[in-house]
């Protein structure tokens, strides 16, 4: 591979610093690497979004942040308010953690209503990715969750937060099949969790993923390796 391959890959990577311990120095490093490699976006926890926006201003890297991260268990009112606040702060892409506990309990109506209420306050120009946390779900639950996300109008099904376990090829294939079966081929898949090598990305791409959520250091390592190959 070449520098061109690394540049193309960077436009598919959501590079992130979203762990509890990440502070200002981490956000500044994130912005520097994201803009150096021209990553499609950079993700931070909500309180760091204004700083990130300033740091990536004028670049081709978008500023992104999550709602209900990482558990998905906040109240619907809280999630809606968080989404509204992030929009006001200038978020350019938004990842929303669905209510995983309610979903596993079978209360799909509650989960669907919550997603629709969040989507209602996010302008259409801002892509929304819904995190379903595949490591906690059975294959049938993954299929059901993927269909639910498609029905909400979200742009992406995202496999997980990266906090509960790594993404697998089988999980991405399951999401892709579910989306195809319900006629939602326009909904894309973001794979996240445990992605560490260009081979991981190649395998997940073959399974149907088009975007990859990767932590700062792992993303830089993957891009450097891609550039060297």
pLDDT in the model for residue 101: 97
* 3-class SS of residue 202: helix
What DSSP element (H or E) covers 180? Answer: helix 169-181
**Are the C-beta atoms of residues 195 and 161 closer than 8 Å to each other?**
no
pLDDT in the model for residue 177: 98
Q: How far apart are CA 9 and CA 211, in angstroms?
A: 9
On the question of pLDDT at 1 being above 90, the answer is: no
Of the candidates 79, 95, 129, 200, the residue annotated as catalytic is 95
* 3-class SS of residue 15: strand
Q: How far from 17 is each of 31, 77, 126, 215, 225, CA to CA, in Å? A: 10, 26, 20, 6, 20
105 in active site: no
Number of structural domains the chain divides into: 1
Residue listed under structure tokens 């994201």: 34
Label residue 112 by pLDDT band (50, 70, 90): very high
CATH assignment of the domain containing 64: 3.20.20.70
Residue listed under structure tokens 């791409």: 205
Q: How far apart are CA 43 and CA 86, in angstroms?
A: 12
Which residues, in sequence order, are bridge partners of residue 96? 67, 130
Nearest in space to 41 (alpha carbons), one of 91, 80, 96: 91
Of the candidates 14, 129, 190, 200, the residue annotated as catalytic is 190
200 in active site: no
pLDDT in the model for residue 201: 98
Of the candidates 14, 129, 158, 200, the residue annotated as catalytic is 158
Record the tokens describing residue 157, joined without a space: 């099904």
Q: Where are the beta strands (DSSP E) in 46-155?
A: 62-67, 93-97, 128-131
Domain extent, residue 81, equals: 3-228
64-94 pLDDT per residue, tens: 999 999 999 999 999 999 999 999 999 999 9
Label residue 155 by pLDDT band (50, 70, 90): very high
pLDDT in the model for residue 92: 98
113 in active site: no
């Amino acid at each position: 591979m070449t520098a061109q391959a690394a540049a193309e890959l960077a436009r598919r990577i959501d590079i992130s610093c979203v762990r509890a311990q990440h502070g200002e120095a981490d956000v500044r490093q994130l912005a520097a690497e994201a803009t150096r490699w021209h990553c499609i976006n950079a993700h931070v926890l909500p309180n760091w979004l204004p700083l990130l926006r300033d740091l990536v201003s004028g670049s081709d890297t978008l500023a992104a942040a999550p709602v209900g991260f990482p558990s998905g268990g906040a109240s619907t009112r809280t999630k809606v308010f968080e989404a509204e606040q992030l929009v006001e702060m200038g978020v350019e892409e938004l990842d929303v953690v669905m209510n995983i506990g309610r979903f596993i309990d079978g209360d799909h109506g509650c989960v669907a209503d919550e997603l629709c209420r969040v989507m209602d306050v996010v302008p259409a120009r801002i892509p929304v990715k819904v995190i379903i946390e595949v490591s906690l779900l059975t294959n049938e639950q993954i299929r059901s969750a993927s269909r639910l996300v498609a029905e909400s109008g979200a742009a992406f099904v995202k496999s997980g937060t990266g906090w509960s376990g790594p993404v697998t090829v089988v999980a991405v294939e399951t999401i892709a099949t579910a989306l195809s079966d319900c006629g939602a081929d326009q909904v894309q898949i973001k794979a996240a969790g445990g992605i560490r090598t260009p081979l991981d990305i190649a395998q997940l791409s073959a399974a149907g993923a088009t975007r990859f959520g990767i932590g700062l250091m792992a993303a830089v390592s993957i891009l450097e390796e891609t550039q060297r190959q």
